[in-house]
Structure 1
Amino acid sequence: MNKLEALDWYILIGTLVFIVLYGTYKTRKNTNVTDYLKGGSNARWWTIGLSVMATQASAITFLSTPGQAFHDGMGFVQFYFGLPIAMVVICLVFIPIYHRLNVFTAYEYLETRFDLKTRTLTAILFLIQRGLAAGITIFAPSIILSAVLGWDLVQLNIIIGVLVIIYTVSGGTKAVSVTQKQQMIVIFAGMFFAFLMILNFLPLDVNFGKALEIAGANGKLDVLDFSFDFENRYTFWSGIIGGTFLALSYFGTDQSQVQRYLSGKSIKEMQRGLIFNGILKVPMQFFILLIGVMVFVFYQFNSSPLHFNPTAVKSIMQTEYAGDYEALEAQKKVLEEQIKSKQISFSRAQDETISQQLLGEIKILNESETALRVASKALIKKAVPDAETNDKDYVFIHFILNNLPTGLIGLLLAVILSAAMSSTASELNALGSTTAIDLYKRNNQGRKEKHYVNMSKWFTLLWGVIAILIACFANLFDNLIQLVNIIGSIFYGNILGVFLLAFFFKYVKSRAVFIAALLNQALVIALFLMDKNDVINLPYLWLNFVGCVTVIAIAIVLQVLVGGGGKDKEKQKVLV
């Protein structure tokens, strides 16, 4: 594995230091709640769009997504199909209401429609799921740097968390927004150069078209799956239905995103920013997945590890099963040579019949290699039951460290860390804001503006410490990008349902909604646990749809049967 050269260190450290200092300097004069929590309400649409995109595109995106495509192909992009639909709905329904009521957080609106306890419940549900997610977004880059430098994971979690805390606590929402523009520039540049380098590393006979043909023959370009098979986690229908509800919940009710567009200069700027994100997000994810597919093509001509997780490999090599693992590695080397030979023959073939025959043979060889990888995971689990056998999150970082030139390695590491910092900063900013406004200020009114700004900073710092602690105890779960989406799916559907009840079901009152939300959250958690233990088959994306629909249904039934709180009415001004 390559060690970082001086140029890599300069680029990596220089990028991170610039982001921290720039964010702190640009927002050093925030003195009131509006400036600190809403960035002065003067952000333009491109800042909003990039900030929204950077908040969602954490380090997990750039770690896990290429590895997901390497193993399973492009089908994961279907997860994002519902996002543009959600952007339109939020622009038409959510933003006008938030803007009219001039709220600091999404949950303020729920008190104007229902009551304080409903606002408090949804705020707490948000704090739980987003606090967990913030820990994971810190943990993700720690895995990378531990692989690169051999440093202790706990130390890395602390370093990364502290860097984010410095400018987020100092500058609030505006610090997050202004730094995210710089971070997105670094991210786009790094991923673009990585893609070009992969194409450059392929044999001269293998152009981009040939590379796509190789990937397609091995099922890596199968984007659309119209089946209703719940065994398949990512289908067109789960993306359109479950993905739409997840995106509605995330962008419409999650304060880490709501706070990004509440900083907009006007309602038009907010809407344009979200539409910009809706237009660009799916192509961006498609491109990141395509990078993973190109990594697969690259390894058709170059040697790759049997298992990409170096810690798991090191663990099994210290057991009595080391010889069995080495035997699998020897079989893989034989297959690699055969695949490489067939691929070279394919790249030079002029006859279409011969080309198709070679592609068929290559597919069979790759299936054999996949079987070896599965066998290696089973062997590792047998030898070391506590070992993490998932290696999707290590595929892209292995490629970066072992194949990219000096300088570009530092840039790609800066990409991943910039993504981690941007996402974590938004989360901490939102966690601090929600705690300060929905829990503290609502119950401690009459203080000076400076007091609430200081309390927001203290709450942001507190959540930063909590996120670091969560990161220190985090473990890989299938893969990181799925873990974050699973956490969100458990809570988001319920919260979205409460908001939809507020928007569209005016006859449903506070008591029915509050009880329904509690019952429904328990139901969704139970469904997730039953799916995890194979009692039922319900992929996590569907939890968003189920959670949303069931909380609406339960609330309506409760309203009909027992009634609830006849004093609800829309107020023109939020009481905070």
Structure 2
Amino acid sequence: MSVLDWSILFGTLTVIVGYGVYKTYGPKDMEKYLKGGNDMNWWTIGLSIMATQASAITFLSTPGQAYSDGMRFIQFYFGLPVAMIILSVFFLPIYYKLKVYTAYEFLESRFDLKTRTLAACLFLIQRGLAAGITIYAPAIILSTLLNWNLTFTNIFIGCLVIIYTASGGTKAVSITQKQQMAVMMGGMILAGILVIQLLPVTFTEALHVAGKMDKLNIVNFDFDLSDRYNFWSGMTGALFLFLSYFGTDQSQVQRYLTGSSLTQSRMGLMMNGFLKIPMQFVILFIGVMVFVFYQFFQPPVFFNQVQVDKLKQTEYWDKYQSLEEDYKTKFESKNIEIYALLDAVKANDEELIETSKERIKEESKGQEAIRTEIKSLILANDPLGETNDTDYVFMRFVMDYLPKGIIGLLFAVIFSAAMSSTASELNALASTTTIDIYKRSMNKNDLSRHYMYSSRWFTVLWGVFAILFATYATLFENLIQAVNLLGSLFYGTILGIFLVAFFMKWVRGHAVFVAALITEAVILLIHFNNGGQLFGVSINIGYLWYNAIGSLLLMAVAAIIQLFLKRPLKE
């Protein structure tokens, strides 16, 4: 990168961290530290909620997801507005009425201490690991692109977040997220405009290419449990995921508990519900435009240049170069067919359109076969080598084709996104540890100032844990899928506990506690046997369905256990 890019990158990060510390340093008690003084307006809450969810993984993986799989990932968010309405009606009023610091406090008043502690511990496990992935995901890609040491990159991101999160608590997180969202969306929209300007064809022609190559496949109404992304998984499995994430995950609950009133918090949630889908649409569409760009300009045969460089000076290099030449030939043949397709579209000749589509499909298969051989070379040279390069697509395009200054801004987008989501996670982990574990079961009657300092230290400790986990993590199939998968393993159980609490008043603590243990065991059994057999039954379920299965199973099991307890029920 140029001096201008480095200046923009580090200048942006310094301003965000410095502003967060300056505006929020020195809260005097636990109330202000954990709830930010309850003075946030609705649009600050809305931006904070969106920034918490929009991690660096969103901006790294989502364009790559669209590049390889089209727009269908947008269906994952179809249930989000419905989830926001349900939470605003049922969850928020109870949280405000009880004046809770964490979502899990409510569970003790409804059930008992062990149920509250179990839910809090499930959250701490899931979110603690997720915080590590949130740091690791951008770090492994940024370290590759910037030629930094991976461990240093993990520590750099983690320490930046720890500085202002430990200093100012919840308010520091919310305030800095406004600046981070401005950088993130401003940078991505600018990148999208530049991608379209770089295309050698008109915008309409670009849409024709994307559409004919099945990259604008937004909605699929086919019901298929094994399909991760279709309308039904978005409106059911993803709906349950969003209910759990926004309604019971402290990293989100803490964002809207800072509202100055119930109305402000509700408006913040609804803002997220109505703006998140357009935001994801824009990011996915940028990925599709990058795909179209690479139909006219030859893409790298493999986007992770570090893995390619490892082949140099090895016995596999000559074979790689030969495959690269074959890839170039395939690209040139396909490029001719792309222009033929556009001519057929202009002539409105359906027969020629179908013929060109088939030829393009065949050339694409040939390109993918060559990429598969490249991946086999990478693994032959290094059995631990990473062969999934979709997370590198967007930033590789940025570095190869965008002008100076913009490159630094886009890297600032990725760092800002990593910081915003990680800060919320560390803040929530510290709050839950302090309120639900330390203050409730270990040190019940100390001063408010003591618990504030305890929260600061827990923020630092969870930050160190996240950095350590990030340092020893391994790359998943796709980073955005990795985070959603990790959440789906636990969210169904947690949401099930809350649904029983809200809607099954006759079920008591012991029944829901045992049901939660059984449900979590079943979900883990299903996951680790997915694609195979469990007790003689074939299992092939998209992970988003874990959320619905877990929630509904827990409710059913809790009801059955309560019926068999045979003891008087309290009113």
**After TM superposition, is the score higher than 0.5?**
yes
Q: Distance in 1 between matches of 2:167 and 2:115?
A: 31
Aligned length: 563
**Could you say which residue in structure 2 is the equivalent of 1:220?**
215
Larger deviation, residues 154-163 vs 318-327:
318-327
Larger deviation, residues 495-504 vs 146-155:
146-155
**Match runs of 1:18-29 below 5 Å:** 18-29=15-26
Q: Are the counterparts in 2 of residues 59 and 416 from structure 1 also a CA contact under 8 Å?
A: yes
Q: Are the counterparts in 2 of residues 301 and 339 from structure 1 also a CA contact under 8 Å?
A: no
**Could you say which residue in structure 2 is the equivalent of 1:244?**
239
Write out per-residue CA displacement over residues 252-279 of structure 1, whole angstroms, 9 at most, x where no aligned residue.
Answer: 0000000000000100000000000000
Q: Distance in 1 between matches of 2:69 and 2:369?
A: 14
Using the TM superposition, give the Cα deviation of residue 388 of structure 1 relative to its aligned residue in structure 2, in angstroms. 1.6
> Does residue 373 of structure 2 align to residue 401 of structure 1?
no
Using the TM superposition, give the Cα deviation of residue 311 of structure 1 relative to its aligned residue in structure 2, in angstroms. 3.2
Q: Are the counterparts in 2 of residues 217 and 360 from structure 1 also a CA contact under 8 Å?
A: no
Write out per-residue CA displacement over residues 180-236 of structure 1, whole angstroms, 9 at most, x where no aligned residue.
Answer: 000000011100110011011111xx1111111101111111111112223422111
| Alpha-carbon distance change, 563 to 529 in structure 1, aligned in 2, over 3 angstroms | farther
> Does residue 76 of structure 2 align to residue 73 of structure 1?
no
Q: Distance in 1 between matches of 2:219 and 2:341?
A: 27
Q: Distance in 1 between matches of 2:492 and 2:312?
A: 44
Using the TM superposition, give the Cα deviation of residue 372 of structure 1 relative to its aligned residue in structure 2, in angstroms. 2.6
Q: Are the counterparts in 1 of residues 209 and 342 from structure 2 also a CA contact under 8 Å?
A: no
> Does residue 133 of structure 2 align to residue 136 of structure 1?
yes
Q: Are the counterparts in 1 of residues 208 and 342 from structure 2 also a CA contact under 8 Å?
A: no
Which of the numbers 281, 288, 306 marks the counterpart of 1:311? 306
Q: Are the counterparts in 2 of residues 255 and 434 from structure 1 also a CA contact under 8 Å?
A: yes
**Could you say which residue in structure 1 is the equivalent of 2:465?**
466
Unaligned runs of 5+ residues in structure 2 are none
Q: Which amino acid aligns with 2:222?
A: S
Which of the numbers 424, 427, 430 marks the counterpart of 1:426? 424
Q: Are the counterparts in 1 of residues 434 and 455 from structure 2 also a CA contact under 8 Å?
A: yes
Q: Distance in 2 between matches of 1:564 and 1:507?
A: 12
> Does residue 365 of structure 2 align to residue 367 of structure 1?
yes
**Could you say which residue in structure 1 is the equivalent of 2:185?**
188
| Alpha-carbon distance change, 293 to 563 in structure 1, aligned in 2, over 3 angstroms | farther
Q: Are the counterparts in 2 of residues 141 and 417 from structure 1 also a CA contact under 8 Å?
A: yes
The 3-state SS of whatever aligns with 2:37 is: helix
Q: Distance in 1 between matches of 2:230 and 2:403?
A: 37
Q: Which amino acid aligns with 1:75?
A: R
Which of the numbers 386, 390, 397 marks the counterpart of 2:384? 386
Which of the numbers 528, 548, 553 marks the counterpart of 1:550? 553
**Could you say which residue in structure 2 is the equivalent of 1:5?**
2
**Could you say which residue in structure 1 is the equivalent of 2:347?**
351
Larger deviation, residues 450-459 vs 384-393:
384-393
**Could you say which residue in structure 1 is the equivalent of 2:107?**
110
**Could you say which residue in structure 2 is the equivalent of 1:516?**
515
Unaligned runs of 5+ residues in structure 1 are 570-576
**Could you say which residue in structure 2 is the equivalent of 1:285?**
280
Which of the numbers 203, 207, 222 marks the counterpart of 1:208? 203
Which of the numbers 411, 414, 427 marks the counterpart of 2:412? 414
Using the TM superposition, give the Cα deviation of residue 558 of structure 1 relative to its aligned residue in structure 2, in angstroms. 0.6
**Could you say which residue in structure 2 is the equivalent of 1:89?**
86
**Could you say which residue in structure 2 is the equivalent of 1:449?**
448
Fraction of identical pairs, as percent: 55
Write out per-residue CA displacement over residues 391-435 of structure 1, whole angstroms, 9 at most, x where no aligned residue.
Answer: 111111111111110000000000011000000000000000000
- TM-score by length of structure 2 reads 0.95
Q: Are the counterparts in 1 of residues 506 and 569 from structure 2 also a CA contact under 8 Å?
A: no
Q: Which amino acid aligns with 1:562?
A: L
Q: Are the counterparts in 2 of residues 510 and 564 from structure 1 also a CA contact under 8 Å?
A: no
Using the TM superposition, give the Cα deviation of residue 387 of structure 1 relative to its aligned residue in structure 2, in angstroms. 1.7
Q: Distance in 1 between matches of 2:13 and 2:324?
A: 39
Q: Which amino acid aligns with 2:144?
A: A
Larger deviation, residues 452-461 vs 302-311:
302-311
The 3-state SS of whatever aligns with 1:531 is: coil
**Could you say which residue in structure 1 is the equivalent of 2:55?**
58
**Could you say which residue in structure 2 is the equivalent of 1:377?**
375
Q: Are the counterparts in 2 of residues 315 and 387 from structure 1 also a CA contact under 8 Å?
A: no
**Could you say which residue in structure 2 is the equivalent of 1:274?**
269
Q: Which amino acid aligns with 1:270?
A: S
The 3-state SS of whatever aligns with 1:40 is: coil
Using the TM superposition, give the Cα deviation of residue 152 of structure 1 relative to its aligned residue in structure 2, in angstroms. 1.1
> Does residue 540 of structure 2 align to residue 537 of structure 1?
yes
Using the TM superposition, give the Cα deviation of residue 360 of structure 1 relative to its aligned residue in structure 2, in angstroms. 4.4
| Alpha-carbon distance change, 318 to 99 in structure 1, aligned in 2, over 3 angstroms | farther
Using the TM superposition, give the Cα deviation of residue 344 of structure 1 relative to its aligned residue in structure 2, in angstroms. 4.0
Q: Distance in 2 between matches of 1:397 and 1:195?
A: 13
The 3-state SS of whatever aligns with 1:41 is: coil
Q: Are the counterparts in 1 of residues 26 and 167 from structure 2 also a CA contact under 8 Å?
A: no
The 3-state SS of whatever aligns with 2:529 is: helix
Q: Distance in 2 between matches of 1:383 and 1:312?
A: 10
Which of the numbers 321, 329, 337 marks the counterpart of 1:342? 337
Q: Which amino acid aligns with 1:529?
A: F
| Alpha-carbon distance change, 183 to 426 in structure 1, aligned in 2, over 3 angstroms | same
Q: Are the counterparts in 2 of residues 62 and 416 from structure 1 also a CA contact under 8 Å?
A: yes
Q: Are the counterparts in 2 of residues 217 and 363 from structure 1 also a CA contact under 8 Å?
A: no
The 3-state SS of whatever aligns with 2:372 is: helix
| Alpha-carbon distance change, 375 to 238 in structure 1, aligned in 2, over 3 angstroms | farther
